[in-house]
Structure 1
Amino acid sequence: MTTLTDRYLAATLRSVPAPRREEIATELRASIEDMIEDRTAGGQETATAEREVLTELGNPAQLAARYADRRLQLIGPTYYLAWERLLKLLLSFVPALVGVVVGLVEATDGKNPGGAVGAGIAAALQVVVQIAFWVTLVFAVIERTNTALNLPEWTVDQLPEARAHRQITLTDTAATIGWLVLVIAYLPLQHLHSFVPASDGGNLPILDPALWSFWLPFLIAVLVATVGLEVAKYRAGRWTWPLVAVNAVLDLAFAVPVIGLLLTDRLLSVEFVARFEWLGQGDNLDTVATVAVVVTILIALWDMVDCVVKAYRNRH
């Protein structure tokens, strides 16, 4: 079982330079053990002594800054860590959210669908600058005016649980969720702006509009559930057998309808097929459908096998 000391060391060492981590870990653990031993020699319980020692040492982020000789004084030492946590939290999702919304609005207003991506990126960058400026300004004013925020004191109960090596990284999760959001957004968008021009210059939907009676809403629901799965995977940090089972169900729930629609020539709109003459020549459409079915099957099988292998490695 991981002790409070182990968790405290892990929380401290994550913010110190990698070359010094082993040295600092040895020194800090020895100091903690000596302080605990001094208290237990006076008759105190070991668990109680450990909590009191770690509480006296204080927030591991502040201790790590001292070891790294890093000053917490951009806006002042009192609320630096609170400023840093809030800034990271806001920057983690607000710019991306605003960028997606602006991009979708730009793409659907009919004036400049091609510039939607650029507009979304520009809006996200502006939000980053605004958040950084205003949050920093507010905390600087609070610091200089000695305004009390009455934030709760740090306690050992705030120590994060120690985790094994992560299989699921934040970068992978963010990239996957971003891709899923784009696909979810494009499914309804392609009926208005598919970026495939018709012969008369109008919009040419790629998917059959009749699918909105059931299949497209169903596939969107599966993709939304997959976003939830990605969040659950990141929180777990690794593949577990329940996650493997859910992933398999979602893979099948998406792949089987797509394969069925491809094989029955119901996935693509009639207008889209007619727009490209070579699709109507000979068996070209059947060939394209067969290739798409094979690719869909291979992707689904690879994803299911990959997560099974990763879950198996976790247990052995």
Structure 2
Amino acid sequence: MIDRYIYAVTRELPRKHHNEIASELRTLIDDMIEGMENHYSEEQKIEYVLRDLGNPKELAARYRGRERYLIGPNYYDKYILVMKIVIIAIFIGISIGTGFGVLFNFTNISEVIWNYLGTLFSGILHGAAWVTGIFALLEYNQISIKNEKDEDEWDPSQLPELPNEKAHISRGESIFSIMFTTILLTLFFFLPEMIGVYYKYDDQWNVTPLFNIEVLATFKFIIFIVFTMTILSELIKIIKGRWTVKIAIITSLLNVISAIIFVYVMYNTEIWNHEIKLQLEQYTPLSFERMLLLTAAIIIIIAIAESITVLYKGIKYGSTMNS
């Protein structure tokens, strides 16, 4: 029960302080138990001490302090992590797009450098503002990805079980997903003309843009929502760190909704470059509409399969634990 109490406190605090506070708490609890009268059983002593220390969330709040921040200690380490991921991803995305532009469209090198720096600055500024805005909103509203229960009468029996190792969510997978999604979002917003089919003709490389750039611009807000929902899903998993039923339901809904919106955008044939449609139909036995239908089916199947897998993990590893 002591381990469960320490876990319940430290999971509310920044990761870098977990070991230090866990060691401090364990020493405090042991000292309090040793100072009690011997006619109590060991189990009674532990329960009395934990009741005396109080609700783990309130104790964690005392460790954090009650000051108001733009980004408080409870979110700061995750904020810095996500900010680094987004900035690196934007740098990679814009660098790749500019690199392809230089390779396939030889222009004045000084103009390329200034355009690159301007686009990079704008992209990083937008990304930093977006990440800061989300975390500031979480901090301002004191939003927590946890079940809200009436804990006025806290009892040690309410302590969460120590999580199964398999219940832990891979931070590496979430980081990769956020980075990959941010790279794609960066290309869509800042260098959409570089997304296309590259081919060599008369010993010279050329690119046919995948999208009708003017029509794509009208869908940018919807595309932003899709990518934001994907990143938000991974961000929730990083914040929580383990599978629960609630997290599984939230991420499943975000995955399915973003897939449906993406398919809706994809099915607008005006968004595609007419030359691309002709080229694809020339080299494949399927019509462009058939290819869209096949792609949409694959996207929906993947989204449903991923949601089922996530729900299975949430039910299996989270149904017996307090969130």
Please name the residue that 1:194 is paired with: 195
* Change beyond 3 A, Cα 1:94–1:241: closer
- Unpaired segments of 5 or more residues in structure 2? 12-17, 40-44, 54-76, 106-159
Amino acid aligned to 1:251: N
CA 1:259–1:245 in structure 2 vs 1: closer, same or farther (change >3 Å)?
same
AA at the equivalent of 1:47: V
Q: How many positions carry a matched residue from both structures?
A: 219
The change in CA–CA distance for 1:221 and 1:163 in structure 2 (over 3 A counts) is: farther
2:209 corresponds in structure 1 to 205
Equivalent of residue 258 in structure 2, options 254, 258, 280: 254
Residue in structure 1 matched with residue 274 of structure 2 by the alignment? 270
Matches within 5 A, 1:9-88: 35-41=31-37, 47=49
CA distance in 1 between partners of 2:249 and 2:78 (Å): 31
Q: Aligned partner of 2:187: which letter?
A: Y
Taking structure 2 as the reference length, the TM-score comes to 0.51
For the 8 Å contact 2:230–2:254, the answer to whether it is kept is: yes
2:99 matches 1:102: no
**2:212 maps to amino acid:** D
Tell me if structure 2 keeps the 8 A contact 1:107–1:193.
no
State the shift of 1:241 in Å.
4.1
Runs (5+) with no aligned partner, structure 1: 16-24, 52-87, 115-160
Q: Is the 1:191–1:203 Cα contact (8 Å) retained in structure 2?
A: no
Matches within 5 A, 1:32-181: 35-41=31-37, 47=49, 92=81, 96=85, 99-109=88-98, 110-111=101-102, 164-165=163-164, 166-181=167-182
Q: What is the match of residue 72 of structure 2? A: none
| Partner Cα distance (2:254, 2:276) in 1 | 28
Shift of 1:299: 0.7
**Structure-1 separation of matches of 2:79 and 2:254:** 31
> Is 1:232–2:251 an aligned residue pair?
no
CA separation of 1:244 and 1:311: change in aligned 2, threshold 3 A: same
Counterpart Cα distance in 2 of 1:39 and 1:113: 77
2:245–2:314 contact (8 Å) kept in structure 1: yes
Q: How much has 1:302 moved relative to structure 2?
A: 0.6
CA contact (8 A) 1:219 1:254 kept: no
Q: 1:247 to 1:207 in 2, by over 3 A?
A: farther
CA change 1:191–1:92 in 2 (3 A) is closer
When residues 206 and 190 of structure 1 are mapped into structure 2, their CA distance, relative to the original with a 3 A threshold, is farther
Determine helix, strand or coil for the equivalent of 2:193: coil
What is the SS of the residue equivalent to 1:229? helix
* CA distance in 2: counterparts of 1:297 and 1:168, whole angstroms: 23
Distance of 1:113 and 1:224 partners within structure 2: 31
Q: How does the TM-score come out when normalised to structure 1?
A: 0.52
Distance 1:302 1:258, change over 3 A: same
CA distance in 2, matches of 1:34, 1:244: 37
Give the letter aligned to residue 183 of structure 2. Answer: L
Judge conservation of contact 1:113–1:193 (CA < 8 Å) in 2: no
Question: Rg: which structure is higher?
Answer: 1
- Residue 181 of structure 1: CA displacement? 1.4
Quickly say closer, same or farther: Cα 1:261–1:96, change in 2 above 3 A: closer
- Larger RCO, structures 1/2 (Cα 8 Å, 6+ apart): 2
CA distance in 2, matches of 1:235, 1:222: 20
